[in-house]
Structure 1
Amino acid sequence: MDTRTEIERELDAIERDLPKIIADHPDEGDRWFAFAARSDVVMERLADDEHDYAGGRIDCMLRKAGLLPQRAAPVS
Structure 2
Amino acid sequence: MGSQYASETRLAALLDQLEQDLPALVAEHPSPGDFWNAFMLRVDVIEDAAGPDDARVLPRLNAMLKPHGMQIASVD
Structure 2 length normalisation: TM-score? 0.78
- Please point out which of 56, 59, 62 is paired with 2:59: 56
Is 2:31 the partner of 1:27? yes
Distance in 2 (CA, whole Å) between partners of 1:2 and 1:28 is 30
**Aligned residue pairs, count:** 67
Distance in 2 (CA, whole Å) between partners of 1:45 and 1:6 is 9
**Structure 1 portions without partners, runs of 5+:** 69-76
Deviations 1:19-50 (A, max 9, x none): 00000001010001110010111102223342
Structure 1 length normalisation: TM-score? 0.78
Distance in 2 (CA, whole Å) between partners of 1:2 and 1:30 is 28
TM-align CA RMSD: 1.3
**Residues 62 and 70 of structure 2 are in contact (CA less than 8 Å); yes or no, is this contact kept in structure 1?**
no
1:42 corresponding residue in structure 2: 46
* Runs of 4+ off more than 6 Å: none
**Structure 2 portions without partners, runs of 5+:** 72-76
Percent identical residues: 34
Larger radius of gyration: 1
